Amino acid sequence: MIQQKNLKSLNTFGIEAFAKQFIDLKSFEEASVFFKSEDLSDQNILILGGGSNLLLTQDFNGLVIQNLLKDIAVIEENEDSITLKVGAGENWHEFVMYCVNNGYAGVENLSLIPGNVGASPMQNIGAYGVEVKDLISEVETINIEDGSKVLFSNEDCQFDYRSSIFKTKLKNQYFISAVTFRLSKKPAFKIEYGAIKSQLVNMGITDDQLSLKVVSEAVITIRKSKLPDPKEIGNSGSFFKNPIVSDATFEKLKKKYKDMPAYQLPKGGYKLAAGWLIEKTGWKGYTEGEYGVHKKQALVLVNYGNASGLEIYDLSERILQSVKQKFDVQLEREVNII
Ligand code: FAD
Ligand code: EPU
């Protein structure tokens, strides 16, 4: 166990904050023994993956447990599909590249999302028309209270837009140790998302030339054109969720803002684009001190150097209020505030 660990290099916002105690766990056995032997009931704990979906607003007065469990194992395989059990500490994008290179379809639209496999069910990560919930068959966890192994089926996880039971009812109660994915060997390419189609055209790719590799490359190119690389500019991706509003609210707003992007949801209501709402309130590209709102994507808050987590949190509060005032729409933070 390390005391007073600086977390600056372990979060993609690049915020300096110290953990009172820190430990990394490298195998299921090590993790299980650790949780069996430690009584953490009175401890503040934070499970850490790649640190790409957190904002540290203060030093962490508790124990940070970094998940470094690696391994990719084939559980089942036939000519149509493959089932892979992947250690929570595997890097997400490296796992996607492994699938793309081996012809396992499903995750290619989720290329270049930072972070580790273990956090992917937590947040139900998504991009370009795909959510990870559509590929997960099981999540293996360790109960933090007693070290026992607990399996969650896809249904048990209660997946929703950027949410799951691990982020809501069972927050901080289970250490995700591995995720099992069912992938297809017969790709059904999802390229309806406007930007992917036009990027493929730019790349000179015709329908008969589609492959997992070119779809992945198209997604990577689009992402690089608007999202900041955390190695260069600190950030945690979209800071807010895209808000979901009722049909009535949508109709009212659409009358006033004819160019407002919105997606009709199958169950009713509309998902609005938080980036558009934030841009229209004038925040896009706003800079103050060493932090601000990304110039190319208003949904991304950035740390250009040594901003504090509190400064960025305060900026997010001001953005929430502006959007509420102008559109009467309540934004919700997507990033985990610590
Ligand atoms: P962390 O930030 O380490 O943790 C996130 C949360 O999960 C925390 O609450 C943590 O306690 C919990 N957690 C992590 N690991 C475990 C575990 N093993 N067991 C239990 N709890 C755990 N997300 C998208 O969905 N789509 C995108 O397109 C996208 N683009 C991004 C682009 C950029 C540039 C950045 C910086 C982020 C982006 N994100 C995106 C957000 C982020 O990459 C994902 O949420 C990612 O899954 C976080 O993984 P992580 O390992 O870094 O999690
Ligand atoms: N828009 C603006 N101004 C902006 C940003 C966006 O007007 O500054 C408009 C765009 O023109 C477009 C719409 O908003 O009409 C949607 O923009 P975009 O396609 O860039 O996607 P997003 O809704 O901003 C979501 C996810 C991303 C994911 C992309 C691609 C959320 C909160 N964000 O962003 O996920 O990569 O779609 O699928 O759902 C993340 O979760 O961290 C993340 C980056």
- C-alpha 273/C-alpha 13 separation (Å) is 23
pLDDT at position 265 is 94
24 within 8 A of 69, measured Cβ to Cβ: no
Distance between Cα 112 and ligand 2 center (Å): 15
Atom of ligand 2 nearest to the CA of 294: 8
Dump pLDDT digits (tens) for 11-39: 999 999 999 999 999 999 999 999 999 99
Ligand with the closest atom to the CA of 120: 1
Ligand with the closest atom to the CA of 124: 1
Phi-psi domain of 103 (left: phi exceeds 0; alpha: psi -120 through 50; beta: other): left
Atom of ligand 1 nearest to the CA of 127: 28
Residue with tokens 């005391």: 3
pLDDT at position 256 is 97
Q: How is domain 72-184 classified at the architecture level of CATH?
A: 2-Layer Sandwich (3.30)
Dump pLDDT digits (tens) for 124-177: 999 999 999 999 999 999 999 999 999 999 999 999 999 999 999 999 999 999
Residue extents of the structural domains in the chain:
2-67, 72-184, 234-337
Distance between Cα 299 and ligand 2 center (Å): 7
Is the Cβ atom of 53 under 6 angstroms away from ligand 1? yes
**Which residues are known to be catalytic?**
162, 238, 334
Is the Cβ atom of 242 under 6 angstroms away from ligand 1? no
CATH 2.40.37.10 fits 2-67, yes or no: no
Residue with tokens 């684009």: 273
CATH 3.30.830.10 fits 234-337, yes or no: no
Low pLDDT (below 70) residues in the chain: none
Is the Cβ atom of 179 under 6 angstroms away from ligand 1? no
- Going by CA atoms, what residue is nearest to atom 29 of ligand 2? 127
| Amino acid letter, residue 178 | A
Is the Cβ atom of 272 under 6 angstroms away from ligand 2? no
- C-alpha 248/C-alpha 7 separation (Å) is 45
Distance between Cα 8 and ligand 2 center (Å): 27
pLDDT at position 192 is 87
Is the pTM above the cut of 0.75?
A: yes
First to last CA, the chain: 21
pLDDT at position 193 is 81
Is the Cβ atom of 12 under 6 angstroms away from ligand 1? yes
The residue whose CB lies within 8 Å of the most ligand 1 atoms, and thus the one to mutate among 26, 110, 123, 219, is: 123
177 within 8 A of 88, measured Cβ to Cβ: yes
Ligand with the closest atom to the CA of 133: 1
327 within 8 A of 278, measured Cβ to Cβ: no
